[in-house]
A and B are shown apart, each in its own frame.
Chain A
Amino acid sequence: MAGLEAAGRLSMSGFEVSLLEKENKTGGHLNNWHKLFPDRRSSSEVMEYLEKISQSDVIKVHTKTTIEKLSKNKNRFSIITNNGKELLADAIIVATGFDIFKSARKEEYGYGIYDNVITSADLEDMFRKDKISLMNGNTPKTIGIVHCVGSRDEKVGNLYCSKLCCVTAVKQAIEIRELIADSKVFCFYMDMRMGGAYYEELYREAQETYGVNFIRGKVSEAGVTIDNRLVVKVEDTLAGRPLKMELDMLVLMAGMEMSEGGKKFAGISGLKTGENKFFDASDHHFGSNKSNEKGIFYAGTCTAPMNITETISHARAAVAEVLDYLNDRSE
């Protein structure tokens, strides 16, 4: 997404852009989402906006392309792609995005082992098909949502908060309640992080209008009963006692991690990554698009978890940095 926005803005300033995309179409994760928080507008509207803005003769999109080698000669970068092509550039914007945490790494939740344990991404797929169903085809009635899977977790090496999962959980809880009228939804959270505009209001709406239940406590384990229903153990911290309940389906809010493509590019380019494994910008406050390499800039979630609004703003800021750099105004 950041790539499309930056490409569009650069083209409007009169630059030629080569957009290198490793999949066979652009748009990244936005292709997989259904409705977006906080107002649940359709993701296709954002996709249309991005496609329109990046529609230009001076933007060349190279799909299924990755970078094998990067070198710099005076002020020009030379990029060798996996197709053997060489591209020359005066500046580079890195918009490699994020990967979703692989939930099978949290063994205790049984993703990939027990039926009906799915991730938030799997659930979005079900929303796109307008139908939520269990492995055996039935409709689930009791659904649990586990926050902080792969984030804020020392055991998997990700100490940071992925920022967006809490509001995604609330949004998905509402969508489940809309799709299945007599469903009961339980969100198991450590903290409710509703930091963006209208997020807290969405949380209130989930409780008030949709009757979503929120239980503060981390789910320790999931197992299956003889009827193949899931049973979870969670400490109801606010009641001060452990709680056990049976569920039809468990949704894991998988966090955001540095993308594999980004890691590979960091390896060949010498760009620094931080403790959270994302790209390390040169300054947190006023240099979040700058890298440790002159002429290479960052846009979007390759630097940290961000929502769509922030990604698009960050991409526009990256373009401003590129313009500065090319006009020799930046240090």
Chain B
Amino acid sequence: MNIEGKKAIWKDYQKEIADDKFFYVRSCVRQNFFPGSETAFLKIMRDELKKDVYEHPCHTTCTGIGYHSDIVPVETTMTVVARQFALMTEAGYENLLPSCITSFGLYTEILDTWHHFPEVEAKVREQLRKATGREFVKPKNLAHASDVIYKFRKEIAAKAKFKLINKNTGEPLKVVDHIGCHYSKMFPSKGVGGAEYPYVLTGMVEEWGGQIIDYPERRHCCGFGFRQFLVQANRGFSVACSKEKFESMKPFKPDMIITNCPGCPMFLDRWQYVINEMEGKRYGQNGEGIPVFTYEEVAGLVLGYHPWELGLQMHQTDCEPVLDKMGIEYSGEDKYNLELGREYSKGHKFINV
């Protein structure tokens, strides 16, 4: 493996990521799957990096999940997205920061459509005006939350209390990076590192001491999709996608998986349980599974946030093996102790501190 070849490609795919004054739009379901992630992100941005991240209380889902399931027509989706832009304009911000990868893909796709078909944009403006009376300005910069963490990875590394290093052996942890399909497969130039060898998570992991693994099914979708799993009978296809990835990464003995999409960690995490139930197979070492993290959780762990405050107890595949390797202290009894969880949230304002 020649890293120089990859570096040449990464240089070709650089993108503009805004510095400050972000308009944060949340994910519909991420707070349910991984409760600590978005909170950790906001804490890192506001408290650690002292950035201005604004959330409008009236912002809604981008309807990407409905659009991709053929439930919401594309004209409706575009109008809802236009409303999000209008809220952003009203609040005086220009840099859009979606939390969800599908949102990011949707916003990129819609902006690109409007770029090539201005008549569609004009129609959407009219629809929005008729429906809500709002006007909007298109965002100057569109960057996904993982892009922003990638941009500030060095600052986070400087404040790191733990590194992605196995404290028993001194070796970097072996990390599998899984990028959400909507990040760069549709528009490779809009993703850091392009579509073949995306760099956004690799950069983070390398900066924080870990080592990325390249395995044959690296590009494979985790199977989230939307229509594949919304109907119960189709879920076999989704499981098979994740299973193919696990079979491919197993020989490389990864310690953990890092992802930047809401759906991917959900599936990679939960399907390990399902595959174990159905076929008795486990993919980690010592009969364990491979813990799956979102990048905010990894950033939080690196900065020393408590694992149970980050919501890691909600993961189906136990995260304790990685916590042990990194040398993070935690109490097993406190794991589901809501009091501790509540302790963190007392007196903490979530919106627009």
Q: Which residues of A contact B (CB under 8 A)?
A: 104, 107-108, 110-115, 221, 223-226, 231
Contacts and interface: CB of A to CB of B under 8 A. Distances in A.
B216 A224 contact: yes
Given A223-B216, A226-B251, A115 B194 contact: no
Chain B interface mostly: helix
B1 A107 contact: no
B16 interface: no
A113 B2 contact: yes
A114 B9 contact: no
B19 interface: no
B5 A225 contact: no
A308 B2 CA distance: 35
B4 A112 contact: yes
Interface in B192-250: 194, 196-197, 214-219
B216 A104 contact: no
A77 B194 CA distance: 47
Given A223-B217, A223-B218, A231-B216, A110 B5 contact: yes
B58 interface: no
Interface residues of B, number: 18
A108 B2 contact: no
Given A223-B214, A223-B217, A231-B216, A111 B5 contact: yes
A110 B8 CA distance: 12
Interface of B: 1-2, 4-6, 8-9, 194, 196-197, 214-219, 251-252
B215 A112 contact: no
15 contacts: A104-B9, A110-B5, A113-B5, A113-B6, A113-B9, A114-B1, A221-B196, A221-B219, A223-B215, A223-B217, A223-B218, A224-B1, A224-B214, A224-B216, A226-B252
Given A112-B2, A223-B214, A223-B216, A104 B196 contact: no
A87 to B, nearest CB: 38
Contacts of A113: 1-2, 5-6, 9, 197
B196 A107 contact: yes
A200 B119 CA distance: 53
Nearest to B3: A113
A112 B8 contact: yes
Nearest to A222: B216
Contacts of B4: 112
A225 B216 contact: yes
B2 A107 contact: no
B311 to A, nearest CB: 33
Contact of A107 (B194, B215, B216, B252): B194
Contacts of B1: 113-115, 224
B192 to A, nearest CB: 14
**Best-surrounded residue of A112, A113, A221, A225 (most CB of chain B within 10 A):** A113
A174 B229 CA distance: 49
